[in-house]
Amino acid sequence: MDKRNILEWIICIIIAIVLALLFRYFIGTPTIVKMNSMYPTLEQNQRLWLNRWGRTTKTLPERGQIITFEKPAQIKYTYTEVDKNNPKAKYNEKIAFEWFTYNFLEIGKESYIKRVIAVPGEHVEIKDGKVYINDQELDEPYLQSGVVTDVVGPGFDNFVVPENCVFAMGDNRSHSTDCRAFGCIPLEKIESTVAIRIWPLNKFGKVE
């Protein structure tokens, strides 16, 4: 193989890698469930296909949709740090090459998978083990019988969802670190919605 052929192969490989990265970032990608925070809806080691078109079009997900989002920079708050007038998760901004390696190559990146419970402008209140949206108890058929929704310690239990943000929780409420602890997720930090479950085959299909 001469130098010209080698160069052509290198160029083809580079183009293929770039196209794959662009597809994964803007269109969709597979993933593996690693935690139990969405049990029984999702179980560890199940394979999912994530739809990232919403991130590309800057479209907020709807209530009930399961999303993935970038892990906030701060997970735990003290009582004095919880600002219910601005219940927004905190992130450290990345620029230039650091942003590229973190978001496109996903080096060192951690993501959470949760269900959208409330959207911008809605008043959320968590009390007596239940969730209330605009003073109406939320019907949550996806939860196991007897599941209680509480906020342990300092957290967000009575607030209005800010503009361009969502409030999300795991279905396995007692084993989920979610927006109750760190606040609402801004649109620009939402990575994808769960499109379908692709494994195991006997559970293949839409996830609700």
Domains observed in the chain = 29-206 (2.10.109.10)
Residue 10: what pLDDT?
A: 86
Q: Using one digit for the tens of pLDDT, what is the confidence trace for 97-121?
A: 888 889 888 888 999 999 999 999 9
Radius of gyration of the chain (CA): 19
Q: Are 115 and 68 in contact (CB under 8 A)?
A: no
Q: Using one digit for the tens of pLDDT, what is the confidence trace for 46-61?
A: 999 999 999 999 999 9
CA distance linking residue 190 with residue 113, whole number of Å: 10
Nearest to 89 by CA among 27, 21, 23, 159: 159
List phi, psi (to 5°) of 155. Answer: 180, -170
Cis peptide before 154 (omega within 30 of 0): no
Q: Using one digit for the tens of pLDDT, what is the confidence trace for 117-141?
A: 999 999 999 999 999 999 999 999 9
Among 4-13, 67-76, 108-117, 133-142, the least confident range: 4-13
